[in-house]
Structures are given as structure tokens and as C-alpha cells.
Amino acid sequence: MKNYKRVLAMLMGTMMAVSALAGCSGTDSQNGSSASADSSVTESKQDEQTTPADDSSGGAANTELSGTLKLYGPGLFTDVGPDGNTDIVTGVSRPGYNEVLERWKELYPNVDVEIETIPWDNWKAACQTAALSGDVDIVLHGSSITSICEPLTEYLEQDPEVKDAVGMMAMRKNSDLAPLDEYVPYGLTVTVNPVMVVVDKEIFEHYGVELPDYENWTTEDVLALAEATTGTDPVTGEQTYGMSLIEAASANKNYIWASRAFNNVIYQWGDTLADTTVNFKNDTTKEVLDYINAFTPYTSPDYFEGLDTNNAYTEANNVAMIIIEDAYNAYNTIKAAGLEDKYMMAALPKIQGGEFDGITSSHMGDWNMAICNASQQKDLAWEFMKFMVTDEVVQQWLLDAFSIPANKEASGKLSGYMPSDYADAISYVVSTSPLEFSASANSCYDSSNFGTFANDLTTVINEMYQGNMDADEAMDYVQKNLDDYMSTLS
Amino acid sequence: MKNKQALKIKAKRQLVWYSFLIVSIVTLIVLTYIPMLQSVRYSFFDIQVVGFGEEKFVGLQNYEKIMNNASFLKSIGNTFILAFLSLVSIPVGFILATLINNIGKGKWQSFFRVGYYFPNIITGVSVVLIFQIVLKANGGLLNNALSFLTGQDVTIGWLSDSHFSRFGATILSVWGNMGYAMLINLASLQSIPGEIYEAAEVDGANGLKQWWYITIPQMKSCFAFLFITSMINGLARFTDLFIIGGNTSAGRPGGTLQTIMMYIYQFSFETPQYGIASAGAMILFVMTFVITLINLKMTGFFKKNKL
Amino acid sequence: MRAKKIRRALLIVILLVLLVIVLVPLAWSIVLSFDRTALSSLPDFSLVPHEFSLFNYEVAFTSIPLVRYYLNTIFVTVVHTFLAVFFALMCGYAFAKGDFIGKKFWFIFMLAVMMLPFESRMVPLYLQYKSWGMLDTYAPLLIGACAYVYGIFFAKQNIEAIPDSLRESAYIDGASDWRIFLKIILPLSKPLIATLSILQVLSNWNSYLWPLVVLRSSEKQLISVGVSIFNSQQDAIYYGPRMAVAVISAIPLSLMFLFLQKYIVQSIAVSGIKQ
């Protein structure tokens, strides 16, 4: 009997606790958002704060701007956390983002910045939903979701020095704002990730193969070297493999560089996307797909499960060339293992023909910031983004956090951080990569405007690797989905 | 006068019963039905990301597009194939339950009950991670075991070759669900009245005959229940396949593991076309609803419960 | 008699062997979580760690506020389960024993959305909570518990099996339906409560996307999101620490199951499944 009274009491208690909790935090979040939503409150705050500041004017601090900026998204801030983190294997520590915020506070004492970090898993879904709350000013890595972002064209015209300072911007296409063969900047790139080839010099030496001259090698050279370094190592007697492409789960990324190297232009841009024609099915595409697939005999059977590079950057490494997207991490791992002399980095082969003839086909990934178009304080958001790519303290912080800054001056300092065997190749890619170019929306490959194109490419490249498709079937598959998608545009 | 009084009492009784339901009904209306109506609405609009950009009424176009889309049709096929394959957990669970039941009640029985149910508890990313290694083509545990048994070198890419991926994914789901199937089968087995068997023994029926003529018929509704719940779960399968595909909804390898849910997710968030995603969700909803109705019919809901 | 005994022993052996096979992947994960060598490359399969150490656990505890996430998750799960099971029993009772207008309609009304995919109503739902000012609170994670459809179905089947005679005699004593529910039905439904609780805990413990989306402050986050943050903080897939985190987050579930398992079997046995 008593028991059930107790149960009932507990239930009541819980219910009350829950409702109290919901109530309390409800007001909490209202307080939080009032800064941005209720402009009259912000103004009055601003008055209070600027008056005393005017008396003590002096120093570089900007006290005119005030408010609370909210940043939301995945990437570097998540990786390092507020107080920094230490990688458990390499043992290298990276400083936390509080350092950035401290610097910001020095410059803009009246602007609070709140960073909400999320992991990469399901990040697109999370960012889109968070943007709906109207409580996000900057979407970290947001430029891929153009519909929630503000184009930056006007801001860049206002502050032309920003464009000069960076070596890359997050470009997309939007027929409403610019012809489709041109780019619209949607995000300010903070750090870049050039796609690099890690070369095991020892394996090359064992086979008596000359190291690549990465500023001049061609796609054929890469294939030939992969072939030459596959087999039984003449010195160690171990099985080695010539190549580890970008992991199978993102096989589309191999298509990005290969299609660029072959200058396989597939888009004929019209006035709008609907008028654009996509000729994916053509002879060059076939060449590209066959080229990627030609590496199959020179890759480890563990490649497909992403396990072939488990021993990379150790003494037991058995892959001569590894294509990677996170050059700095790779270098750190190598350095921590004390193997700096064993490896070098190279750029991907040069582009043959077309607009970019002769430069490397290595593209760059990035980590960018974009202004959420639901934000009430876009100018303030721009101010912060500008700060992220131009402020010297921040650039130093980025380098210390083992990132390659998009800021050209800062990325030039890379040679102070790693030996020339690594820094030179990275700098080569960073400096040759055209500013007006986007790896995710260009004339050979566009993953942002053509539906499931990227996923479909991954699918067919994997299928070819498994021997379940040939290049013709692969092209039919992708072209069919493209046509399907294009028919939905009207 | 009396009539009124009786009516009042009746009305009061009604209110009492409704007081049990009201919270859940309101919750469902507010948190499920209203958002669902929103989705229904979106499914008639050309809309990319909800809340951003223009919304354009397009009538049934989204449905037309999606029904003509090869990937969507393929994802429906995949979903049903995977759901049917995962039904293997039912016979597996039944066999286990029979064996466990035969050792009689006691410590051993509860030990096995717990042991076999364990995989059901441990789910999530880490399990998939482990299975990616257990099932990998080159030197994975399963392939090693098969190589040992067959004396030949087996290198099947259980999760990486599109010819086998559905089986690999099924191994994963059977591993996770057979404990549940076993538990339910066991409970049903143990609730078959012992007298039936005794009577059969008197009639001289042997073990196999008993099993065929008594056990199986008695288990019919248990199988039906498991069949329906597995099917419904299968239709909504998403998370593990999403992880196998390298955190994309493409259904890697070769699109063979792209389920309807993954298709919907892809168009909701990865290549945002919310209108199309909503149309997909509505189609999925109708399919699950039909299956639920069949379920109710099979369990005799409409006849027996004179609701 | 002896033949029977041998047969039983043989059965036990077969079941043991099968069980070992089934549990191998699980055992391996646990072993890996204690293995110092399980980092970016996976050590060869073995049933004892190559180099035993608690290193992975230290890493897990020091790199993210695991305890905090843990407590948050326990709070949310407990409240959620409590609400879900209680309201499911209430509805189950009404549907099993009640006699009121529209019973069939409401039952279908509830079952109809049993499997409506959450992802497809996530965005509208989010907008609703936003308009109520409930974002970044636990409310969006908890309120939904008040309609646990599968639980209602299950509870109805179970409560139907409780003989009417108990209720009738209580009626004669003048007890109201609420009184009957609280004093007769609830106490008789322990196995049912246990089963629904564990099903609830199982399905909530690992939920990821919704908490990720509605909770904005990192100190409120749940363990599933914490695990994901942990994974993205490392430069590569480090198997050992990952497994350690997985093991830690699975412990409460396992304990709960061990304690409740005998009720679960009972409640499944009385539910509608065997009719």
C-alpha cells in the first residue's frame, strides 16, 4: 500500500522537476537569444557600454561593436576544444580555441563569442537544423550548405584586403548572382588541406626507382611508379604496394584530382542550372575512370576497408605512395615516430591541357566559416571571420594547432614548422592553387549542384574496383542519375 | 430524470477513461501528427532547405519524380531485401530457444538466456567498427574461419563487395537480433501447456512428431509477431548501414545498402531537397501503416477485441 | 535416465560453443579496450590483451567530460523511461479494460504512427520546440516520452491477461478506476514495467541526432554525442580508446539487463504473442 503512494509521490516529484527544468531553461534560452532577437534591448545595452568606453578611448580595442556572436559547426574548434587537446599517439598538443577568443576580446571587448562545436557525424543535418533556430551567426564549415549561407561578394568588395590575404576561398555557384562559369564566394576559408602524396623514400630506394619530380610528373608517371614499387621488396623481402588512393569510402575524391589532371570538362554552363548540360558520359571520363581503376593491382587488398594504411608512418610501412587529405596530421605522426627522413611529400601529377594546364592537380580541402543568412548581425559576423583570416595572433594559433592557414603570409611560415621535404611540396600546392577555384564546384566535378553526383561517383568507382562494373556501365549509372536530377530542375 | 442521472454517470465514466489517455493523445497530436502534416505539406512543395529560400507549390510533382527515380525504387527494393534477409533471426532464435528449453529450467538456462541476449544490448558505432574488421575481405575473422573449414583461401568482402554486402549486413543484424528472437521464442515455448505433450506421448507420438504437430502450430502467433516486428524494424533500418557506408547515406558498397530511410536522409540533409524527402517519407509511412494493419489483422485484433 | 543426462550435457556443450562464437566480437572489443597496442592499427586477434593497460580508459576519461555526459544521459534516460512506461501503462489499461466511445479509433490513431521515421519529422518538430522556447533544454528529449506507442500496444496485451475478477471485486468495494489502476494493475505489472523499461533504455541510450540538434550547450550534451566528439578529436581511428568508450557506455545497460532479465521473459510470456 505505502509503496504505491511512494511511487505516486515520486512520479509527482519527477513531473514537477521536469516541468521546473523545462521552465527554467526555457527562460534561459530566451535570455540567451534576446541579445540578437530583441534589438531594443541590444541598443540600450550598447549605449550603456559605449559611454564609459568613450571616456577611456585609446588602444586598438574596438568598443563600438557589441553583441553576442554564435558560432555553430564542426571542424577545428571541435578538434581542439576550448582548452586544447593532446593526441594520444603522436603526443602532440594543440592549443584550445580559448586563445582565439581571448585575442578577440582584446580587440572587441564588447562582443561576446560563443562557440558551439559539433562532431562531423551528421554535421550537415545538425547545421541546417541549428540555422533554423535563428540563433546562429556563423556556420562553421557552412559553405557546403549554400541555402543557409549568405554570399560574401559584397563583404569582399567592402574589404578588398581580405581577398588579397587568403590563398583560397570557399566558392560555389549560384546562377542568380553570377554566371555559372564564375564563382560566388560563400565561405571564408580559414585553413586549407591540400591533397598530398606521402612518398616512402626507402621503398623507392629499395626498388632502385628514382624519386618523383612532383612539379613535372604526369598521371602516367604516377601509375608507372606505383607499378614499379609493387611486389616483393628486394631488400626486406616484404610485400609492398605502390599506391594507396584516398580511402574507398570517399572514392569520389580520387575522381576530383584525376578528372582535373585529365582536364575532363563535363559541364556546359547555361544561364541557369536547368539550362546546363552535363556530358559525363564521354571518352575522357572513361579514361579517367579506367585510370583510377588501373591502380587496383598496386593497392593493398585492405585498401577497400580503409585498413591498408594501418602501418603507414611506422617502420613497417609497406605502401610506397599514400594519397592523403590531412597533410599536417600525417606529418605530425611521422615526426612523432621519428621517421622524418624516411618520407617526403609530393603534389599530385600536373594537369594536362585546359585552363589550368601545367599546375598540379592537387586540390585543397578547407575549413571555412560562412555567415548564416538567418543571422541578425551579419556585419559583426563578417568582422569575426575577417579577424580569423587576417589577425596575426590567430594565424600563429592556427599554425600552433597544426593547421595550414589560408592566409598566404602565414602559410609561408610553414617551412619553419617542418623540413623542406614536406613544407616545399605543401607550399607548392598552396601557392599554385588558383584563388578562383573550388574543388567541390568546378567544370570537371561539381558535388554541390548536381544531386547525388558525389555519392554516385563513389559507388561506381568502388564497383569498378571490385570488378562488378566496367567504365561504360559506370558512366551509364552516373549519367542516368544526373539526367534524373537535371529533369527535376525547372 | 433517472435517464439523465444514468447519462451523467455514463458521461463521467467516459471522462475517467479518457483521463487515462489524454496526455498521450495530446502528445501524439502535437509532437507527431502536426509535424507530420507539415511534412505532408512540404511534400507538395519545391523546397530545398526548410525555412530558407522560396517555397513553390508543385502539386504531385515530387511524388512523380520520386516514383520515376531509379535510386528510390532501388532503395525500396534494398529495404525489402534486407528486411526479408534479417528474418533469418527468427528461425535462428527458434532453434536456440528449443535447445535452451530442452536443458530444462535452472542455472544453465538463465545463463544462456542472458548470454545470447547480450549482443542485443550492445549496439552502436563500436559494434559496426568491430564487424568491419571481423567481416573484412583480407584476413577477416569470418573469412579466416571459412578458409580453415573449406581448406581454400576465402576472401569475400562481406561489407565491401556489393555482391555480398547484403549478406554481411544481414550477419550484423542477425547477430544483434537473434537474442531477442530467442527470448520471445523461449517464452512462448514455455507457455505451451505441458498436458498437450503428455497426451501426445500417450498416443505414442515421438519427439519429432510432437515437435512438428504440437510445437510448431502453437508457435504460430509468436512467429507472426516476430515477423511483423522484424519487418517494421527492417523498414526503418538506418544507423548501422549509415556507418558501414562511411557515414554517408549512399548505401555503400554499390548502393546496395541504401534503404528508404537513407534515401530520405540523403535528400533531407546531404543534397537538400526537402520536398522530395518528404514525399519519400510519406511513401514510407503508407507502407509501414499497411504492414501494421496486416499485423493487427494477423494477430486477430479486429475480430477478437470487440473494441 | 543416463541417456537423458548425457543428452543434456551434450546440449550444454553445443550451446556453450555457439555462445562463444556469438560473443567473440564482443569479447574482442573488450579485450581491445584494455590493450595498449590497439591504436591506429589493429593488433592481431587474441582473447587476451597484447599489452594489458588501463591507458585507453585514462584517455577516454581525460579527453572529454565523460562523467558529466554520463550523468546527463542517466538523468535523461531515467526520466524518459519513467514517463514513457507510466503513460504507456495508463493507456494500456484504458485500452485493455476500458469501455468508452472511440476506443478503436484512438487505438488505431496511436498505432498508425508507430513507425513514422523520426528523421522525416525532425525539422518541423524542431521548429515547434523553437517556438515554445524550449531549445537547449531537456524538454524536447523528454516530452515525447508521454506517448510511447509500442509500449502502449505491449501494455494493452499484458494487462488484458489480468483477470477481470480482481477489478470487479474492487468495483464492488467502491474503488474508482484510477484507484484500481494504481493499486491493482500497477503492482501486478512488474514484469511488464521491467520489460518496457529496458526496451526504453535500450532505444534511448544511444540516440544521437536529436540530442545533437536540440542541445546547444556542450555541458548539457549526452554520452552518444560525447563519444562522437571524442572520436573526431583524434587524428585517426584509435581502436583501443574507442572500444574503451564503448565499453563504458554499455556498462549500465548490461547491468540493468542482468537485474531485470527474469521479468522480461515473464512479461513476454504473458503478452499477446502466444495467443
- What is the model's pLDDT at position A58? 41
Where are the alpha helices (H) located in chain C, listed in sequence order? 2-33, 55-63, 66-97, 103-111, 118-131, 139-142, 149-160, 164-172, 177-180, 186-188, 190-205, 209-214, 223-233, 239-270
Residue with cell 563600438: A64
Task: Give A121: exposed, middle or buried? Use CB within 10 Å, 0-12, 13-18, 19+.
Answer: buried
Minimal Cβ distance to B121: which of C124, C178, C250: C250
The whole-angstrom distance between C91's CA and the closest CA on chain B is 5
Chosen from C216, C219, C238 to mutate, greatest number of chain A CBs within 10 A: C216
In a domain, C8, yes or no: no
Asked if pLDDT for residue C272 goes beyond 70, the answer is no
User: Is residue B242 situated within a structural domain?
Assistant: yes
With an 8 Å Cβ cutoff, is B124 touching chain C? yes
The answer to whether residue C203 sits within a structural domain is yes
Distance between CA atoms of residues A463 and A474, nearest Å: 8
Q: Do B124 and C246 touch (CB under 8 A)?
A: yes
pLDDT value of position A364: 93
Query: How far is the C-alpha of A290 from the C-alpha of C9, rounded, in Å?
Result: 59
pLDDT at residue number C235 = 64
Mean pLDDT, residues C70-93 taken together: 93
What average pLDDT does range A436-459 have in this prediction? Answer: 89
CA separation for the pair B118, A293 (Å, rounded): 42
Cβ separation C268–B36 shorter than 8 A? no
Cis bond leading into B253, ω under 30°? Answer: yes
Range of the domain at C208: 54-274
pLDDT of residue B227: 85
Compute the distance between CA of residue B268 and CA of residue A6 in angstroms, rounded to an integer: 46
Torsion of CA B226, B232, B236, B238, to 10 degrees: 20
Contact yes or no for B112 and C19 at CB 8 A: yes
| Partner-chain residue, chosen from C130, C132, C233, that has the shortest CB–CB distance to A85 | C233
Chain C touched by B52 (CB under 8 Å): no
Q: Is the model's pLDDT at A38 over the cut of 50?
A: no
Contact indicator for B142, B134 with CB cutoff of 8 Å: yes
| pLDDT number for residue A6 | 53
pLDDT at A329 over 60: yes
Number of domains in chain C: 1
Question: Is A117 in contact with C213 (Cβ distance < 8 A)?
Answer: no
pLDDT in the model for residue A199: 96
Contact B186 C273 (CB under 8 A): no
Give the confidence band of A54 by pLDDT, cuts at 50, 70, 90: very low
C70 touches chain B (CB under 8 A): no
Which one of A121, A124, A193 would you mutate to disrupt binding with C, by most C Cβ within 10 Å of its Cβ? A121
Any idea which residue has 553526383 for its cell?
Answer: A453
Interface of B with C in 248-267 (CB under 8 A): 261, 264-265
**Cβ contact B266–A452 (<8 Å):** yes
CATH of the domain at B291: 1.10.3720.10
Distance CA A436, CA C146 (A): 53
Q: What are phi and psi of A12, to 5 degrees?
A: -60, -45
The answer to whether position B13 is within a domain reads: no
Provide the pairing of β-strand A184-194 with A170-172.
antiparallel
Examine the pLDDT at C161 and tell me if it is beyond 90.
no
Which pLDDT value is given to residue A4? 52
Given a contact cutoff of 8 angstroms between Cβ atoms, the answer to whether B135 and B171 are in contact is yes
CA distances from C196 to A243, B25, C199 (A): 52, 19, 5
C-alpha to C-alpha distance for A319 and C202, rounded to whole angstroms: 43
CB of A333 within 8 Å of any CB in chain C?
A: yes
Other CB atoms within a 10 A radius of the CB of residue B15 amount to 11
pLDDT of residue A278 exceeding 50: yes
pLDDT, tens digit (0-9, with 9 covering 90-100), for A171-228: 888 888 888 888 999 999 999 999 999 999 999 999 999 999 999 999 999 999 999 9
CA distance C221 to C155: 32
Helices and strands (H and E) in chain A: how many: 18, 16
pLDDT in the model for residue B1: 56
Residues 6+ apart with CB under 8 A from C85: C148, C151, C193, C196, C197, C200
Q: What percent of chain C has pLDDT over 70?
A: 94
What's the rounded mean pLDDT across residues C223-231? 82
Helix (H, G, I), strand (E, B) or coil at C122: helix
Mention every residue, 6+ apart, whose C-beta is less than 8 A from residue A134: A33, A36, A37, A374, A376, C130
Q: Extract the runs of DSSP E, i.e. beta strands, from A294-436.
A: 319-324, 343-346, 364-371, 404-405
Distance CA C89, CA C193 (A): 8
Mean pLDDT of chain C: 85
CA-nearest residue of chain A to C237?
A310
Task: Identify whether the C-beta of residue A287 lies closer than 8 Å to the C-beta of residue A485.
Answer: no
Q: Is residue C30 part of a domain?
A: no
Residue B241 burial (CB count, 10 A)? 26
Q: How large is the average pLDDT for residues A292-320?
A: 89
Q: Is there a domain that residue B233 lies in? A: yes
Chains in touch with C (≥3 Cβ pairs < 8 A): A, B
Whole-number pLDDT of residue A36: 36
The answer, for C164 touching chain A at a CB cutoff of 8 Å, is no
Cβ atoms B222, B188 nearer than 8 A: yes
Mutation for C interface: A129, A135, A305, A319, most C CBs within 10 A: A129
Closest Cα in chain C to A131: C213
What burial class does residue B12 get, using C-beta atoms within 10 Å of its C-beta: 0-12 exposed, 13-18 middle, 19+ buried?
A: exposed
Whether C253 is covered by a domain: the verdict is: yes
Asked if residue B44 is part of any domain, the answer here is no
Band of the pLDDT at A50, cuts 50, 70, 90? Answer: very low
Nearest to B39 by CA among B306, B275, B292, B300: B275
Contacts with C, A 28-47, CB within 8 Å: 28-30, 32
- Residue C212 contacts A, CB cutoff 8 Å: yes
Yes or no, beta carbons of A88 and C186 under 8 Å apart: no
Nearest to residue A126, comparing CAs of A139, A138, A111?
A139
Contacts of A305 in chain B (CB under 8 A): 132-133, 136-138, 157, 159-160
pLDDT of residue A34: 34
**Chain segment B125-168, per-residue pLDDT in tens:** 667 877 887 888 877 889 988 999 998 888 888 888 888 999 99
C49 lies in some domain: no
Taking residues A281-292, what's their average pLDDT? 96
For residue A166, what are the β-bridge partners? A407
pLDDT tens sequence across A106-115: 999 999 999 9
Q: Is residue C43 part of a domain?
A: no
- Residue A408 near residue A155 (C-beta atoms within 8 A): no
Per-residue pLDDT at A45: 37
List all residues 6 or more positions away from A97 whose beta carbon is below 8 Å from its beta carbon: A76, A77, A80, A81, A82, A115
Q: Which residues of C touch A24 (CB under 8 A)?
A: 137
pLDDT of residue B95: 92
Asked, for residue C4, whether it belongs to a domain, the answer is no
3-state helix, strand, coil in chain B (%, to 5): 75, 0, 25
Q: Residue C94 pLDDT more than 90?
A: yes
The nearest alpha carbon in chain A to B62 belongs to A488
Does C22 fall in a domain? Answer: no
Predicted local confidence at residue B152, as pLDDT: 87
Tell me which residue in A80, A122, A329 faces C212 most closely, judged by beta carbons. Answer: A122
| Among chain A residues, CA nearest to C123 | A129
Q: Domain count for chain B, please give it.
A: 1
pLDDT at C115: 63
pLDDT digits (tens, 9 = 90+) for C182-204: 988 899 888 889 888 888 887 88
**pLDDT tens per residue, range A130-152:** 998 888 999 999 998 888 999 99
Q: What φ, ψ does residue B144 adopt, rounded to 5°?
A: -60, -45
Q: Which helix (H) or strand (E) holds A172?
A: strand A170-172
User: A180 vs A257, A268, A271, A276, CA distance in Å?
Assistant: 21, 9, 7, 9
CB contacts of C42 in chain A (<8 Å) are 307, 310
* Weakly modelled stretches of chain B, pLDDT under 50: 304-307
Residue A182 in 3-state DSSP?
coil
Mean local confidence (pLDDT), A21-28: 38
> How many CB atoms neighbour CB B218 within 10 A?
16
Grid cell at residue A173: 555557384
Q: What is the pLDDT of residue C170?
A: 86
Instruction: Give the confidence band of A377 by pLDDT, cuts at 50, 70, 90.
Output: very high
Residue A204 · residue A229 · CB < 8 Å: yes
Integer Cα distance of A366 and A325 in angstroms: 10
Write down the pLDDT at residue A210.
93
C37 pLDDT above the threshold of 90: no
Domains of chain A: 61-193+366-431 (3.40.190.10), 196-364+438-488 (3.40.190.10)
CA distance A250 to A255: 10
Give the model's pLDDT for residue B193.
Answer: 81
A287 touches chain C (CB under 8 A): no
- In degrees, to the nearest 5, what angle opens at C-alpha C98 toward C-alphas C92 and C103? 80
Instruction: Give the CATH number, domain containing residue C90.
Output: 1.10.3720.10
Q: How far apart are the first and last CA of chain C?
A: 34
A419: CB partners within 8 A, 6+ apart:
A340
Query: Which of C235, C238, C245 is most worth mutating to test chain A (most A CB atoms within 10 A of its CB)?
Result: C235
Order of all β-strands in the sheet with A319-324: A231-232, A239-244, A319-324, A196-200, A343-346
**List of chain A residues whose C-beta atoms are within 8 Å of the C-beta of residue C213:** 125-126, 129-130
pLDDT of amino acid A3: 52
CB A477 within 8 A of CB A469: yes
Q: What percent of chain A has pLDDT over 90?
A: 59
pLDDT at A434 over 70: yes
- Segments in A61-184 forming alpha helices (H): 76-80, 98-107, 123-132, 153-158, 160-165
- Closest CA of chain B from A305, distance in Å: 7
A186's enclosing H/E stretch is strand A184-194
Inter-helix orientation angle C66-97/C239-270, to 10° = 20
Q: Are A249 and B271 inside 8 Å of each other by CB?
A: no
Residue A74 near chain C (CB below 8 Å) = yes
Contacts of A29 in chain C (CB under 8 A): 133-137, 216
Put simply, the answer to whether A125 touches B161 (Cβ < 8 Å) is: no
Give yes or no for A329 touching C (CB within 8 A).
yes
Characterize B126-155 residue by residue with b for buried, 16 or more Cβ atoms within 10 angstroms of its Cβ, and e for exposed.
bbbbbbbbbbbbbebbbbeebeeeeeeebe
